Structures are given as structure tokens and as C-alpha cells.
Amino acid sequence: MKPLLTIFTPTYNRGYTLHLCYESLLRQTVKEFTWLIIDDGSSDNTRELVNSWIEDNKINIKYFKQENKGMHGAHNTAYELIDTELNVCIDSDDYMADNAVEKIITFWGKYGNCSYAGIIALDADRSGEIIGTKLPENLKSATLYNLYSTYKVNGDKKLVYRSDLTRQTPPYPLFANEKYCPLSYKYLIIDRLFPLLIMNEVLCHVEYLTDGSSMNMVKQYKSNPQGFAFFRRVAMENAPTLKDTFRECIHYVSSSLMIRDWSFIKKSPKKLITFLSIPVGIILYAYLGITQRETFYSNKNSNSL
């Protein structure tokens, strides 16, 4: 019988920490899941490590190795391969609560149907402290955007999506010489279709490592301007207020300047607001350039000590 849930983990040279996720999956009170590991071009011992776990045959593991495409490229591959009703991403430096799978299956069995995109639940740190705020107690469901904008939820949350939606929505675009496109791109599109069921339960324990995506977001911003410019165009189209649209346009201008795309107004779905955002976008672009130079010289000086 096919399980209800796929837990997928994109990983790149994380053999030193991937065991934490594996051990948490061994502790699950319900084992009706598939663990799909997308190895995004690792050069460490990840393949050997995973093969030893597959040989142990304690849980159902699928392993797929590809050339390095970045986090969003690994997500694309996962969504193509997943064949279960639900999926959830657990990063390679995180691990699941011991009863997370049981909670997901039970909750979805009781409340889930085609009117909902999936489940939103809580992340906690290693000590069990909830990341950010809890979710509203008086709501059964809401879109991801409304939770953060209207209900002032903050902090990372765990998203469990219907696999037909993550598979049918357009994949993350891949750009030459870039390795990141904001994962929120798919979430924005799915938000337009269905709300998420709210479950105020901790599903995942997270740690923000120094080599992780979350801790390097400014660097990602500057290293992947094509991906961010693409995302800002999509975000403009989905922004519910003028203030939100203006914010997205400012970032779009900044990213467009980084790639020397002088036709950015023509490409924008919000041309007038983009035009009005140019002065602030230039300031943001200049600020990021200054911080980049300061970081370079700081690193250079520290390396010479």
C-alpha cells in the first residue's frame, strides 16, 4: 500500500548532519512514509551514507543524485518524483518531531480534502522553543500570505502540501550561473488556489547553520539577481495591497540593476509603480553594493591576520 506522505530532503555536502534527520525518522511513531533524498551534486560521503541506510531497510528511502542545480532545482526534481498525496520538505540540517508523521496523517485524515492546499504547522528550535509566533487558534484555515500579513504570524513554519498542486504548478526557473530562486514562488501560486489547514503542532526542529540558505539570504540576494528579479515580478502580480506592490517593485528594480537589465520596466507587470520605485530601488542597489565591498575587505583583512 502506497504511503500518504513523502518527506523530501534536498542536500548538498551535508553528510555530517544528515544523520539527525534519519535518526528522527527512525523514531517516528508511524512509519507510513517515504523519505526522498535529492542529492544536489554532493562531493562528500552522502551517497555512501544513504546507501548504508537503504541496506539497513528500517524505513522506506528513495535516493536521487543530480548535478548541482541549487535548492530550487532540487525541489523541482523532488516534485517530479513524488507520487504520494502529501509532501513535506525537511532540510538536511533539521529533523522531525518523533510523532510528526502520525500528526500529519491523523490531521489530514480528519480535516483534509480537495478544498485545502495542505497543512501549515510549527517549527521549533533544538530546545523545543517555537520559531516565531504560534498560529491563530481561532482559524481553521488561511492562505500563507494572510497569516503573515493580516494575522501577523512571524517565523518559519512547516508546510505540508498536496503533491498534485506542487507538481502541477510551474517549476522554479533555472538561470545560468545562479543557484537560487525564492521557494516562495510556488507558495504564492498555490495561495491563489486554496488555503492551508492550520495545525498548531510542532513538526520539525530546525537549526540555522552558517552554511545554510537562511543564514546567507543577503548573499543569495546578491548572487542570484535573475532568480530574485523573476520572483519579484510574480510577487507584484500577487501583492494584495499597494504598499506590498511598491515593496516588491523596489526589490525588482535593485535586482534588475544588478543584472544590467535596462528593459526591466517593459517586463514589469506593474509598470507605473515600477517606474515610481526607481529612486528607492537605486538606493537599495547602492546599499547592497556597499555592504558587499565592506564584507570583501573585512574578510580580506581577517584572512591576513
Q: Burial, 176: exposed, middle or buried (Cβ in 10 Å; 0-12, 13-18, 19+)?
A: exposed
Give pLDDT tens digits for 117-148. 999 999 999 999 999 999 999 999 999 999 99
- What confidence category does residue 297 fall into, taking pLDDT thresholds of 50, 70 and 90? very low
Helix spans in the chain (H) = 18-26, 46-56, 71-81, 100-111, 144-149, 163-168, 184-191, 217-223, 225-238, 242-258, 264-267, 271-304
Grid cell, residue 305, equals 591576520
Q: In a 3-state reduction of DSSP, which class is residue 131? A: coil
Q: Look at the chain and count its residues.
A: 305
Position 214: which residue type?
S
Give pLDDT tens digits for 251-275. 999 999 999 999 999 999 999 999 9
- Match 552522502 to its residue by C-alpha cell: 46
Per the CB < 8 A criterion, the answer to whether 213 and 71 are in contact is yes
Per the CB < 8 A criterion, the answer to whether 216 and 138 are in contact is no
Give pLDDT tens digits for 38-49. 999 999 999 999
Q: In a 3-state reduction of DSSP, which class is residue 292? A: helix
**Alpha carbons 187 and 249: distance in angstroms, whole number:** 19
Give pLDDT tens digits for 41-80. 999 999 999 999 999 999 999 999 999 999 999 999 999 9
- Match 509532501 to its residue by C-alpha cell: 87
**Alpha carbons 232 and 304: distance in angstroms, whole number:** 39
Q: Percent of the chain beyond pLDDT 70? A: 92
Rounded CA Rg of the chain: 20
The answer to whether residue 152 scores a pLDDT higher than 70 is yes
Q: Which residues contact 35 (CB under 8 A, 6 or more apart)?
A: 6, 7, 8, 9, 22, 25, 59, 60, 61, 62
Mean pLDDT to the nearest integer, 206-211: 70
Angle between helices 225-238 and 242-258 in degrees, nearest 10: 160
Grid cell, residue 197, equals 489547514
Per the CB < 8 A criterion, the answer to whether 102 and 199 are in contact is no
**Alpha carbons 213 and 210: distance in angstroms, whole number:** 8
- DSSP letter string, 195-256: PEEEEEEEEEE----TTSSGGGHHHHHHH-HHHHHHHHHHHHHH--SHHHHHHHHHHHHHHH
Average pLDDT, the chain: 91
Residue 200 CA, distance from chain mean position: 20
